[in-house]
Chains A and B, each alone.
Chain A
């Protein structure tokens, strides 16, 4: 069985290569069917492997089994979290491909399957990153997924915003990747190994007296790369610019899983490389991740509230939620890991569904602007219901999977950090509900335009002309995704299953049971009530919750200037180093 793990990468890549090789002769429908079949087949393979991941599997690609504990090959891991992420990636790619069925008006001449092929490569790259057990191999697939993502983000070359967002995305993420590679080189210099577990053991063997500057620098550099992908403050600036302009099916993948893979990478790399006595002490990691995560959640939530461009609003809500994931992972408890895993699964379904609904608006009205669309989408009842349900899922209304994940994570972090969870989910959900009320119901007065903001009107639809009727695929897919997000919380035993496989792979091996608690349900309901209240207030008394003066500088930071973002990246690396410094000085 373990020989099949690398096929999660090979099958989508083969599908993509075949599509390009035959691209000139293939009718469009055949290309799209091939894409769905290959993507679905990979998803099925991922599910089968996931069901067999007890006990966790490992595979040495190329058959280079370790001799005397040493190998020259590349390690691929097949444990619960790795295969779980691969499954999530594959299922979401499948739904994005189904959603984009007959989507773009004109594929590039002679390259009928280009979009589908890029999506398949994206799927293979994300699967490859999820199952990587070798640090350099993780970098290679990190880079592959970035490269495909840049191309997909800039796919609509007629759009000025799209190409600008894609370039910002490209420059910032590439720089992050190079920082990560510098960190890998430093680790290789110290330990002479590349497999993550071997590096971890090498650090422990050489660092009897605790970590030194070399370990700290490599930690900072590797985490910079991963946190750029995870869009943690202050590495987050590229995300709204890119996610707001990418084609909708791509947004579903970017916000649904790619960003979360950054958080997953942090979990994997810290757990296997830096968690030992020669690595970074737990207290320092907790300080770094909880600080940055809280900041990320706060900035994401505030910025989300002030957006009028609906896709940009959703992108900021992804920033806020990634902050919550980082806080949950940062406390380094088995419950925290379980909660975040469930939260990521639920969030993927909800966020992808919300983007899918925003895509319906774009293709029906040629605009994703909350102000311009005020009251214009009254007829789209099904979309309206799904948008509202998605908002409630975002708020964490039980029994959504997001609510279960949030409740378990809140239990794990405890204390004042619970407030961050409730506030961030309530504000982002409130913003989405506000959009629902204004756009689909036409409630309240048309809001006034602000000075420093991105408008979402005058966008080109992604289909051939404006749609007069919404195709069934574009309503079925978000409905299925929302149902899946609901099932994560409702299906009995699912939470325990996820928790068991996460704990099996994570450190300690402590098995904890995951279930609904009264405390969690009450907090979930509280966030939802708060979200509804905020949305109601925004619609009826816009002046009360409009941007206060202190929010203006925060908005000005998001300047769209790539130089600013690079400067922030350097600043972020320094902050990360400062946050983790006490452990190095103390040893």
Chain B
């Protein structure tokens, strides 16, 4: 059986490789100038006073894609909550406090606030500079978990009431959808960025609905990552199976 798999892999891989290499040779050369959609996106972004074109594409021009992406994250978190729930034959055992070296602990506690603030800053400036809801959200959520290193698991659990994060994850998705639906109620297309003034170019409030959608995504990503990590940590640290089952 194993031999069959290797044969399949060799033939299939060689065939696909040949196809891909032939396709690469037909591609326009790396670094070419032909980007019609990209050029249009830059124009559209400038017309709506959004300095960071990528944010404009993500939260304005192709905001519907971002809705799908947000839903993927939402669904994956819900899926992990369901898949990593405590099964009937498992129980929780409080973990023994782990010994963490003092320098590590100091370092973690020092970095934690810096990382948190960086995350929030990156979220807030999404429409201006590189960064935005996704990046900032992940940074902030991961930063919170430095507490696991810096203090211990108990401390982490206290500042991390999971239910609140799960709710805020869902509320952020609701907020994004409601912002989209508002424009339908106003008689335009779903997720149309026409209700709010576009503001002054290169300021925090520029871009119409972009900062709001960006903030909703930031909130969603941060809470989602916290919930994800929490469930994996729970499995790794707390949940134990009954012996002899």
User: Which residues of A line the B interface, CB within 8 A?
Assistant: 3-4, 6-7, 9-10, 13-14, 16-21, 23-24, 59-64, 70-74, 76, 108-111, 114-115, 117-118, 121, 124-125, 128, 136-137, 140-141, 143-144, 147-148, 150-152, 154-155, 157-158, 186, 188-190, 192-194, 212-214, 216-218, 220, 556, 559, 561, 563-564, 567-575, 577-578
A64-B44, A213-B22, A213-B25 are contacts. A20–B191 as well, Cβ < 8 Å?
no
In-complex Cβ contact of B36 among A18, A192, A577 (8 A): A192
Is B12 within 8 A of A111, CB to CB? no
* 29 A-B residue pairs with CB within 8 Å: A9-B68, A18-B170, A20-B169, A21-B167, A60-B189, A62-B64, A70-B36, A72-B37, A72-B41, A72-B57, A74-B65, A108-B85, A109-B85, A125-B75, A140-B68, A148-B75, A151-B76, A151-B83, A158-B87, A194-B37, A213-B25, A214-B26, A217-B20, A567-B9, A570-B9, A570-B15, A571-B11, A573-B16, A577-B19
Is B171 within 8 A of A21, CB to CB? yes
Bound form: Cα–Cα A190–B19 in Å: 16
Is A61 within 8 A of B15, CB to CB? no
Bound form: Cα–Cα A61–B64 in Å: 7
Among B69-85, those with CB < 8 Å from A are 69, 71-72, 74-76, 78-83, 85
Is B174 within 8 A of A61, CB to CB? no
Q: State whether the Cβ of B88 lies closer than 8 Å to any Cβ in chain A.
A: yes
Among B13-40, those with CB < 8 Å from A are 13-16, 19-20, 22-23, 25-28, 34-38, 40
Most buried by B among A9, A10, A117, A561: A10
A3-B189, A74-B64, A109-B86 are contacts. A190–B28 as well, Cβ < 8 Å?
yes
Bound form: Cα–Cα A65–B144 in Å: 43
Is A158 within 8 A of B88, CB to CB? yes
Bound form: Cα–Cα A190–B72 in Å: 28
Residues of B within 8 A of A137 (CB): 62, 64-65, 68
Is B16 within 8 A of A574, CB to CB? yes
Q: State whether the Cβ of B61 lies closer than 8 Å to any Cβ in chain A.
A: yes
Q: Is the interface of B mostly helix, strand, loop or mixed?
A: helix
Q: Is the interface of A mostly helix, strand, loop or mixed?
A: helix
Residues of A within 8 A of B181 (CB): 7, 10, 14
Is A10 within 8 A of B61, CB to CB? no
Is A114 within 8 A of B72, CB to CB? no
Bound form: Cα–Cα A144–B71 in Å: 7
Is A155 within 8 A of B27, CB to CB? no
Residues of A within 8 A of B177 (CB): 10, 13-14, 17
Residues of B within 8 A of A216 (CB): 19, 22-23
- Please tell me the number of chain B residues within 8 Å of chain A, measured between CB atoms: 76
Q: State whether the Cβ of B159 lies closer than 8 Å to any Cβ in chain A.
A: no
In-complex Cβ contact of B71 among A76, A121, A212, A569 (8 A): A121
A3-B188, A21-B171, A62-B189 are contacts. A192–B35 as well, Cβ < 8 Å?
yes
Residues of B within 8 A of A157 (CB): 82-83, 85, 87
Residues of B within 8 A of A114 (CB): 78, 81-82
A61-B63, A63-B192, A137-B65 are contacts. A574–B15 as well, Cβ < 8 Å?
yes
Is A140 within 8 A of B9, CB to CB? no
A10-B180, A60-B189, A147-B75 are contacts. A574–B19 as well, Cβ < 8 Å?
yes
Bound form: Cα–Cα A109–B12 in Å: 46
Bound form: Cα–Cα A18–B172 in Å: 10
Q: State whether the Cβ of B194 lies closer than 8 Å to any Cβ in chain A.
A: yes
Residues of B within 8 A of A559 (CB): 1
Residues of A within 8 A of B86 (CB): 109
A381 to chain B, nearest CB (A): 34
Q: Which residue of B lies closest to A128 (CB)?
A: B68
A160 to chain B, nearest CB (A): 12
Most buried by A among B8, B22, B57: B8
Bound form: Cα–Cα A16–B20 in Å: 40
Bound form: Cα–Cα A312–B62 in Å: 40
In-complex Cβ contact of A17 among B5, B88, B173 (8 A): B173
Residues of B within 8 A of A578 (CB): 15
Among B89-108, those with CB < 8 Å from A are 89
Most buried by A among B75, B177, B180, B183: B75
Is A571 within 8 A of B12, CB to CB? yes
A585 to chain B, nearest CB (A): 11
In-complex Cβ contact of A151 among B40, B57, B79 (8 A): B79
Is B79 within 8 A of A74, CB to CB? no
A445 to chain B, nearest CB (A): 33
In-complex Cβ contact of B183 among A63, A115, A141, A214 (8 A): A63
Bound form: Cα–Cα A569–B11 in Å: 11
A556 to chain B, nearest CB (A): 7
A62-B189, A63-B194, A213-B19 are contacts. A140–B170 as well, Cβ < 8 Å?
no
Residues of A within 8 A of B61 (CB): 62, 64, 72-73
A20-B78, A155-B82, A157-B85 are contacts. A217–B44 as well, Cβ < 8 Å?
no
Bound form: Cα–Cα A216–B174 in Å: 42
Other 11 A-B pairs with CB < 8 A, given A6-B184, A189-B28, A568-B8: A4-B184, A7-B190, A17-B171, A20-B78, A20-B169, A72-B44, A115-B82, A144-B68, A154-B79, A188-B37, A192-B38
